[in-house]
Amino acid sequence: MTFSVASVLRRRWRGPKYLLAIPAIIWYLVFFAAPIAFIVLYSFGTKDSSRLVPVDLGSLSTKSYSAVFDETFFKTFRATLRISVLATFLCVVIGLPVAYFAAFKVAEKWKAIILAAVVVPSFTSFLIRTVAWRIPLAPNGTLSKWLVGMGWISDNGIQILETPMAVQIAIVYNYLGFMILPLFVALDRIDVRMREASKDLGAGRVATFMGVTLPLAGPGIVAGVLLTFIPMCGDYVTATVLGGAKGNMIGAMIASQFSGAQNWPLGSAMAILMIAAVLLALVVGFVVVWIAPRLAALASPVVQVVRRKILSDQSPASK
Amino acid sequence: MYTWGDYNDPDLVGALAGSTLNVTMKVDYYASNEDLITKLAASAGSSGFDIVVPTGPYIPQMIEKGLIQKLDKTLIPNMINVDPNYLAQAWDPTNDYSVCKNWGTTGYFYDTTKISKELTTWQDFIDTCMGEASGNCSVIDAAPNYCGMWFWANKINWNTETKADLDACEKFLVEEFAQHIKAFDSYPSTKLAEGAYSIAMAWNGDARQAYVRIEEAGGNPADWKWVLGAPNTELWMDNYCVAAGAPNAEAAHAWINWDLIPEISIKDLSYHGYHTGMKNMSQLISEVAPDLVKGDMIFFGDEQVATMQTQVITPALDRLIDILNKSKAKAGADLA
Amino acid sequence: MRKKIEVLPKLLSAWTVLVLVFLFIPISLVFLHSFNYGGSFTIWSGRASTKWWGELFNGGVMYGVLIRFAVVVVAGVVFARITKRRENFSKRVSSLILPLTFVFAIVLNGLMTEWYRTIFDFAGIGDSIRNSFIAAFGATVIAVLIGGMSGVALARRPGGWTKFFMATVFLILVTPEIMDAIALATWFPRIKAIPVIGIIFSSGWGPFNGGINKLWVGQSLYSSAVVTLIVRARLSGLDEALEEAAADLGAPPGRAFRQITLPLIASAMVAGALLSFALCLDNAVISTLISEAGSTTFPVALLGATRSTIKPFWGVGAVLLFIVTLGALWFLAVILRRGGDSASKIAATFTGS
């Protein structure tokens, strides 16, 4: 491989520019684009359980889509989005102070330790971590008995397992690391002088944070949201292990259409609508993110002043 | 082997199979017969499974779809140890394809400290789930059992194909009952011990295991009561079959044969808690496992067995699955 | 005013500690409950026991393993110390000694005892762990090959195609896993109809049969996109002039690539590979829907087991996998540090920016 790549380099790409990407393009066509195209096709078919591929493509219809919009299914949709949006929000709120602390308030050595501590739990089996939440949350568990003993909760113990609450807790837990890391990277890149200049100009710490730090951390927040919100929406494991009937999420519902229920058209339609919903939520989210710093900038002319001051210092950003 | 959850003594599929038979077992689990058939059908003879354990009534369609192969009976001489009552069932009259693994039934299990009423029938179960234990009950995650509960309570044959019955069942389960369900859980034993439910529909063997788990969790097993479903309930029989295209058919036969040795079979029985259909069962138990606990949850009297009905696969099954799925959606939706 | 300044960092550090505790609660419970005496992972029976750990804690075996481990590691530490003092020894090499010692200690123990087999084969999870490694390894090789190549192409030969390709990569990253899972699960039965690829899949040999190849495909999608981004980010931060200069100076193309380009992207490739390996090792959603009997991985088997009682040995398996993954990450950190990267840069490499 080495040699072929090298000779391509030498020839200054006389072939098509995407030559090196051809394996990837083929791979993605065969194993990504084509299968998903079929899912789109199946979503317009009708269920026919007598066949090996249990879909009748003879008569295409949008029946499955209207079935998804049936009240009960639609509610699971809404519940999934609600859990994911809330969990993403909680991840930002919980993770931002940690990332901020690691980026600005500690020595280099401690940065490494904090980051390692954040990342390490993510490398234990996702499933066993999720299952492990059953231990502290069990109504007959040690924690529950202790809380009852202290008289802080009712005699029934912790009533969280098999509810959306358990899913909410575990999902925040499972994805928190994926939020903290990009937040840290973005914050860490911020030129300290920007913040100092802002303070020198008399802006309070709140104004500095809102006007300088937060807008500059924008890309990190965006990356973090992408890394957490999307997998959350399709999460199949957390809800299956902890959610019970009430914490059902759309991911588990889609999977069951393909394994147990054998209703491929319905499952396909659900999956497509889920992606549409995810993308819609992202667009809405980004519009908000796009507007917010501009509003903040309007509200805080300090930023403009700071930017100008830095430019006038003529010190090129070196980080 | 592709089987139901926690369905064999780990020794028998692990170390002991290795040392006695020189066979290494790999075990995967499925949650319903539909899952099993889907997985086998999807790979059309190349699933890689050797032994599968379908419930009786599903066997004819598996034969028809070519998912299981004929047993080589010469490799399973121990089939003579099986009580003839449990051989030659309607789904496989000559036992060419299957041999009884064990049979069991369905009932429910509840915490007497949380539920004050004495419960005896399916109607009691339904009422309790909708009343005292609302939001704190679990049901088996398999369509025939879930719908069967309502049919039995209303004295309708659970194999009914009558549209009116099915409609009434759907109406009740989806619109009135589903919202009270906490979980669809085919193996509630561990979660009962964690305290997640106060009442759970369960297969007898799993309910029996719940006693062990509850004790481990520091609870008092005497607080819990097992009720056999009434007026009618299910009798299911799971069978060893060899999958079509099994890569290790010979070892599969050897293992099945080994599991049909009475002593081995009883060892298995005392683990999973289901009647394995051996001849002279009561004598065997007193010889091999005299200290077996909770035998009344394994062996049932004749008049109890008379109330049990075997499932028949009918076109209505699709409808039952549909009811289960709608109930799941409904159960999950009321908080949204 | 002075006092107010002191309060904020304290609050922040307290919060950070709290969050870290939150992150470590379930992990420590997994460790604890893998020593549970009872028959269920989630229910603590009140007694600890090493019975689920198989032979590892059986007296003589354990001491043997520990002694060998200690001897090798101590020797490694001493050796590392000596080499650090010597000036003719490059620092790059000496910093690698310790991790290599660990690897050596594990391999040595594996060669001299059967303890891997006795633990990993316990209760049938041995096969699933082995399958996890084979699947993750294959998927990583694919991801690094196709991701690395397209990363180089994106950074060095941008053009009209870049937009489309990046859009595809972005789509792969934002598609929820469950979608890929169902798409592939319904795609594989049809794949026989495709020329060449269909033949490899339907009548494959060795590892190309038995479903592992499906896992390679499924797991490689996301991770190859990640590798692409990481390599692209690393290369576009570096000046192409270096490579051109080498060519202008008459370096043979093979050598220019080996000595200039490869070192530039090597750390990005290694980072991508290890990240991809860790992601694949833990993949549950895609793997569950497409795996077959012969290719059940640890997460797939565990997901199956969650339907009934989860035995404590699943915790044991998870702990062992955790140690392996952690070792890989540590190794990576050492490699990146060797190149002079700070913690911040390592984190940045991982997030592909």
Question: For residue range B270-310, what is the model confidence (pLDDT) as tens digits?
Answer: 888 889 888 888 888 888 877 787 778 888 888 888 898 88
Chain C residues whose CB is inside 8 A of the B43 CB are 189, 211, 292
Q: Check residue A318 and give its pLDDT.
A: 41
C349 vs C53, higher pLDDT: C53
Q: Is the ipTM of this complex over 0.95?
A: no
For residues B281 and B313, membership in a common domain is answered with no
Closest by Cα among B260, B268, B248, B277 to B1: B248
Instruction: Compute CA distances C230 → A316, B182, B207, C159, whole Å.
Output: 25, 44, 52, 19
Task: Yes or no: say if B68 and B97 are a contact pair by the CB < 8 Å rule.
Answer: yes
Interface test with C, best of A53, A131, A282 (most C CBs within 10 A): A131
Report the alpha-carbon distance of residue B219 to residue B269 in Å, rounded: 24
Amino acid at A248: N
Are the beta carbons of C183 and A35 separated by less than 8 Å? yes
A9, part of any domain:
no
Among A81-95, A122-136, B217-231, C122-136, which range has the highest average pLDDT? Answer: A81-95
Total beta-carbon pairs less than 8 A apart between chain A and chain B: 98
Say whether C117 sits in a helix, a strand or coil. Answer: helix
Report the alpha-carbon distance of residue C135 to residue C287 in Å, rounded: 10
Are the beta carbons of A262 and B38 separated by less than 8 Å? yes
For residues B124 and B227, membership in a common domain is answered with yes
Give the domain range for residue A212.
Answer: 19-313
Closest by Cα among B300, B302, B263, B301 to B284: B263
When divided into structural domains, chain B yields a total of 2
Q: Check residue B46 and give its pLDDT.
A: 64
A188, part of any domain:
yes
Interface test with A, best of B140, B325, B330, B334 (most A CBs within 10 A): B325
When divided into structural domains, chain C yields a total of 2
For residues C211 and C264, membership in a common domain is answered with yes
CATH number for B223: 3.40.190.10
For residues B183 and B324, membership in a common domain is answered with yes
Q: Residue C233 — very low, low, confident or very high, per pLDDT cuts 50/70/90?
A: confident
B87 vs C125, higher pLDDT: B87
In this structure, what are the phi and psi dihedrals at residue B259, rounded to the nearest 5 degrees?
-70, -15
For residues C342 and C196, membership in a common domain is answered with no
Amino acid at C263: P
Report the alpha-carbon distance of residue B223 to residue B202 in Å, rounded: 17
For residues B254 and B211, membership in a common domain is answered with no
C337 vs B60, higher pLDDT: B60
The full length of chain C comes to 353
Are the beta carbons of A17 and C159 separated by less than 8 Å? yes
Question: How far is the alpha carbon of A185 from chain C, nearest alpha carbon, in Å?
Answer: 6
* CA closest to C319 among chain A residues: A124
Give the domain range for residue B300.
Answer: 2-103+235-305
In this structure, what are the phi and psi dihedrals at residue B298, rounded to the nearest 5 degrees?
-110, -45
Are the beta carbons of C146 and A24 separated by less than 8 Å? yes
C179, part of any domain:
yes
C8, part of any domain:
no
For residues C250 and C136, membership in a common domain is answered with yes
For residues C60 and C114, membership in a common domain is answered with yes
A12, part of any domain:
no
Helix C212-236 crosses helix C125-156 at what angle (to 10 degrees)?
40
* CA closest to A95 among chain C residues: C19
For residues B193 and B323, membership in a common domain is answered with yes
For residues C137 and C270, membership in a common domain is answered with yes
A7, part of any domain:
no
For residues C65 and C144, membership in a common domain is answered with no
For residues B186 and B321, membership in a common domain is answered with yes
Residue pLDDT, tens place only, C318-332: 888 888 778 777 777
Closest by Cα among C290, C285, C287, C142 to C223: C142
Are the beta carbons of B195 and A157 separated by less than 8 Å? yes
For residues B317 and B193, membership in a common domain is answered with yes
Which of A143-147, B103-107, C100-104, C255-259 is the least confident region? C255-259
Instruction: Compute CA distances C279 → A185, A242, C26, C282, C348, whole Å.
Output: 20, 22, 19, 5, 17
How many other CB atoms are found less than 10 A from the CB of residue B317?
22
Mean pLDDT, all residues of chain C: 78
Residue pLDDT, tens place only, B112-128: 988 988 999 999 999 99
Pairing of strands B181-184, B224-228: unpaired
For residues C96 and C236, membership in a common domain is answered with no
Question: How far is the alpha carbon of C298 from chain A, nearest alpha carbon, in Å?
Answer: 9
* CA closest to B32 among chain C residues: C307
Token code pair at residue B178: 């589903």
Which among C42, C168, C284 has CB closest to A138?
C42
For residues C186 and C145, membership in a common domain is answered with yes
Report the alpha-carbon distance of residue B129 to residue B121 in Å, rounded: 13
Report the alpha-carbon distance of residue B186 to residue B5 in Å, rounded: 9
Neighbouring residues of B314: CB distance < 8 A, sequence distance ≥ 6:
B159, B161
Which among B48, B193, B217 has CB closest to C293?
B48
CATH number for A90: 1.10.3720.10
Give the domain range for residue C322.
Answer: 29-120+311-353
Which among C23, C253, C317 has CB closest to A6?
C253
Question: How far is the alpha carbon of A15 from chain B, nearest alpha carbon, in Å?
Answer: 41
When divided into structural domains, chain A yields a total of 1
Which of A33-47, C198-212, C246-260 is the least confident region? C198-212
Say whether B104 sits in a helix, a strand or coil. Answer: strand
Task: Yes or no: say if B130 and B176 are a contact pair by the CB < 8 Å rule.
Answer: yes
Chain B residues whose CB is inside 8 A of the A163 CB are 182
Are the beta carbons of A132 and C30 separated by less than 8 Å? yes
Total beta-carbon pairs less than 8 A apart between chain A and chain C: 300
Chain A residues whose CB is inside 8 A of the B223 CB are none
Token code pair at residue C178: 């469950």
How many other CB atoms are found less than 10 A from the CB of residue C228?
31
Pairing of strands B199-203, B137-139: parallel
Residue pLDDT, tens place only, C4-55: 556 888 899 999 999 999 999 999 999 999 888 888 888 888 788 877 776 6
Say whether A50 sits in a helix, a strand or coil. Answer: coil
Closest by Cα among C288, C202, A262 to B45: C202
Chain B residues whose CB is inside 8 A of the A79 CB are 332-333, 335-336
Question: How much is the CA Rg of chain B, to the nearest whole Å?
Answer: 20
For residues C199 and C133, membership in a common domain is answered with yes
Token code pair at residue C242: 């270096």
Chain A residues whose CB is inside 8 A of the B187 CB are none
For residues B23 and B156, membership in a common domain is answered with no
Closest by Cα among B4, B233, C40, B98 to A135: C40
Report the alpha-carbon distance of residue C129 to residue C131 in Å, rounded: 5
Q: What is the mean pLDDT of residues C299-309?
A: 84
Using a CB–CB cut-off of 8 Å, the residues of B that contact C are 2, 4-6, 10, 13-14, 24-31, 42-44, 46-49, 186-187, 189-190, 193-194, 206, 209, 212-213, 216-218, 247
Token code pair at residue A24: 């990837």
For residues C146 and C191, membership in a common domain is answered with yes
Percentage of chain C beyond pLDDT 70 is 74
Instruction: Compute CA distances A303 → A296, B318, C85, whole Å.
Output: 9, 64, 51
pLDDT in tens, chain A (319 residues): 444 454 445 445 445 667 888 899 999 998 999 999 999 999 998 887 666 677 877 778 888 888 888 766 788 888 888 899 999 999 999 999 999 899 888 888 888 889 888 888 888 888 999 999 999 988 888 888 888 888 888 777 788 888 888 999 999 999 998 899 888 888 888 877 777 777 777 777 777 777 777 777 777 888 888 888 988 888 888 988 898 888 888 888 888 888 766 788 888 998 999 888 888 888 887 787 777 767 766 656 666 666 666 666 654 444 3
Task: Yes or no: say if C256 and A6 are a contact pair by the CB < 8 Å rule.
Answer: yes
Total beta-carbon pairs less than 8 A apart between chain B and chain C: 85
Are the beta carbons of A256 and B330 separated by less than 8 Å? no
Among A214-218, B131-135, C186-190, which range has the highest average pLDDT? Answer: B131-135
Report the alpha-carbon distance of residue A132 to residue A130 in Å, rounded: 5
Residue pLDDT, tens place only, B59-71: 998 898 888 999 9
Residue C64: pLDDT above 80?
Answer: no
